Chain A
Amino acid sequence: MLKYNAVINQEISTNDLIVKEICPVIKINLRGKTREFFTSVGKCLNMILPTEANTSSSSDQLTAIWQSPDEWMIVSNEIDNNDTNTSKLNELLFNNISKTNLGAVTNVTDQFVQLEMKGKNIYDLFSSGSPFNFEEFKERKGSTTQTILNNIDVIIHNKDQNYVNLYVRRSFANHLFDWINDYVSKL
C-alpha cells in the first residue's frame, strides 16, 4: 500500500473544464460469476451488481461499475479519512467472497487514480484522444466505459450531465493529466 499519496498535486480550472484528483477513495476489484457470488455480494454491499454492459449501480455510499460479465469495480462515493491502510469494506468482501472461494476481491485503491472532470468541454476532450463514440454515453447518466484515451487505458463513469469520473492507472496518471493540460492550453 502507498498510504494514499495523491499523484496529481495541481488542478485544472477553466470556465469550460475542471479536472482534479479525488483522493483517497476506496476502490475494490470484484470478480465472480456464480449465483452464490451475486447473493453474497448483494448482502455485503446492500446493492445489486449491474449485469448490463457499460452500466453502473449506486447506493448512498458505493458505486459498482461494470467492467466485464464477471468483473466489477466497487468505488466509494465518499473520501476515506481513515488513517490506516485497512478498509472495512475490503475486509468484509474478502471474508465473504475470497475466503469462501466464491470469487476474487482485490483492493485497487492505490492502483487507480480517480479524476473528477466537469464542464461542457469534457466530451470534446475525450473525442480528441479516444476512438470511443460518446454520443449515447453522454446522454445516459450512470453509463460507464473502458476505452483508451491518448493511448492510455481508462475507465470513464458518467455521473451526471457534463460530469464524469475518470479512473486511470497510477503510473499513467501524470502523463494523462499533462495531456489534458496541453488540450486546455489550446482552448
Chain B
Amino acid sequence: MFLINCPYCGERDQQEFKAGGEAHIERPKQPTELSDDEWAEYLFIRKNIKGVQFERWNHAHGCRKWFNMVRDTSNDEIREIYKMGEKPPSQ
C-alpha cells in the first residue's frame, strides 16, 4: 500500500487507483503496413522492467482522470507524476 499524488485531487491511497500499463507507446502511423509480428509487438509486448518505468494510472475511485507516473518498480518509489499530454521528464 502506498500513497499516490493525483495531479487533480491531491494525495490519495493506492486503493483508489488502477494501473493502466506502460505509458508513451505510440500507435503505428500505418498499421496496415505492419507484419503480424510487428502488430502483435505493438499490442502485447511490454518492457516490464525492474527499475524506473513510465506508466499510466487512472484515479478510478476519485476524479476518474488518467495521468502518467514515473515509478521505480523495484521499490514502488514514485519519482514523478505528470498529466496526460505533458512531456515526460528526461530519464
Contacts and interface: CB of A to CB of B under 8 A. Distances in A.
A147 B62 contact: yes
B77 interface: no
B8 A69 contact: yes
Given A53-B9, A54-B10, A67 B63 contact: yes
Residue among A54, A68, A71 with the highest chain B CB neighbour number at 10 A:
A68
A132 B9 contact: no
A97 B71 CA distance: 40
A146 B61 contact: yes
B28 to A, nearest CB: 30
A68 B64 contact: yes
B63 to A, nearest CB: 4
Interface residues of B, number: 13
Given A131-B16, A132-B13, A153 B61 contact: yes
A68 B63 contact: yes
A148 interface: yes
A132 B62 CA distance: 11
Given A68-B8, A147-B61, 4 more contacts: A67-B63, A131-B12, A147-B12, A148-B61
28 contacts: A53-B8, A53-B9, A53-B63, A54-B9, A67-B63, A68-B8, A68-B62, A68-B63, A68-B64, A68-B65, A69-B8, A69-B65, A71-B63, A131-B12, A131-B13, A131-B15, A131-B16, A133-B11, A145-B9, A145-B62, A146-B9, A146-B61, A146-B62, A146-B63, A147-B12, A147-B61, A148-B15, A148-B61
Interface of B: 8-13, 15-16, 61-65
